[in-house]
Amino acid sequence: RFLNLLVSMSWLKATSNGTDDVFEEIADELDISAKEWALNMKRRIRDGYVDGADAGEDAALEVGFKEGFQEGAAKTLAVGRLRGIVCAIGSWYQVEHRGLPFPASVTDLLQRVSKHEDSIVAEIMTAMEKRFPPSANDVAESLEDLEIAPLKNCPESDCCMDTDCPPHGHTLHSVGSDSDTRSSSCAHGTIFSQLVQSCRDIVAELGLPPGLLEHINELEDIELTSSSY
């Protein structure tokens, strides 16, 4: 009986040790699974931030493209039509007066119209860049490329950090303010009126049909409408 009791106790001990080993293996597997789950959640959160940032950037670009296209089309409509009329006059003259020198007035007006159109496009591009400034990452990368060192306290009393200078982030004049926009629109309107008058003079100079003047006069109304953008 004593021998049987020892055998039974040994079996129970072995069984209990085996159960502990099984529990330890299960606990280890659960711990590994928990760590993998935590890593996957962190990865998904990070990917979600990246996808959200990309989607936001794409949406901003789409809005900027639509606004830029509408504004550009409106502001260049009148000058684009004027350039088309001047080109048509030049083509008509070449067909009707072969062998004769091309009128200098037509060439000069075409150059002036093209220059004015280019200035409008450049102004629109500048305005769109101010409206949608570069992101902080782009600015940081640009500063790193330029190897700009951080600002330090200037030892000189008359340096840029003097109290007479405007505080950081403020300028002496407002860039892109409403007054600047109005003055720019006024300047463009004056130049365009001069170009339209030059086109009228060419129509009279070449003896073109008076009906063409109606189309030319319409351009000033289009220009007034586009100046509201």
Residue 13 lies in a domain: no
The mean pLDDT of the chain is 71
Residue 34 lies in a domain: no
pLDDT score at 66: 75
Residue 100 lies in a domain: yes
In this prediction the pTM is 0.54
Q: With helix as H, strand as E and coil as C, how does 10-73 read?
A: HHHHHHHHHHHHHHHHHHHHHHHHHHHHHHHHHHHHHHHHHHHHHHHHHHHHHHHHHHHHHHHH
Residue 160 lies in a domain: no
pLDDT for 61-98, tens place per residue? 677 667 767 777 778 889 999 999 999 999 999 999 88
Residue 158 lies in a domain: no
Residue 115 lies in a domain: yes
Q: In terms of residue numbers, what domain contains 197? A: 75-134+176-229
Whether residue 160 is predicted with pLDDT greater than 70 in this model: the reply is no
pLDDT for 165-221, tens place per residue? 444 444 434 444 455 555 666 787 889 999 999 999 999 999 999 899 999 999 988
Residue 200 lies in a domain: yes
Q: How many domains does the chain have?
A: 1
Whether residue 58 is predicted with pLDDT greater than 60 in this model: the reply is yes
Residue 129 lies in a domain: yes
Stretch among 24-28, 39-43, 101-105, 132-136 having the lowest mean pLDDT: 132-136
pLDDT score at 36: 77
The values of phi and psi at residue 106, to 5°, are: -70, -45
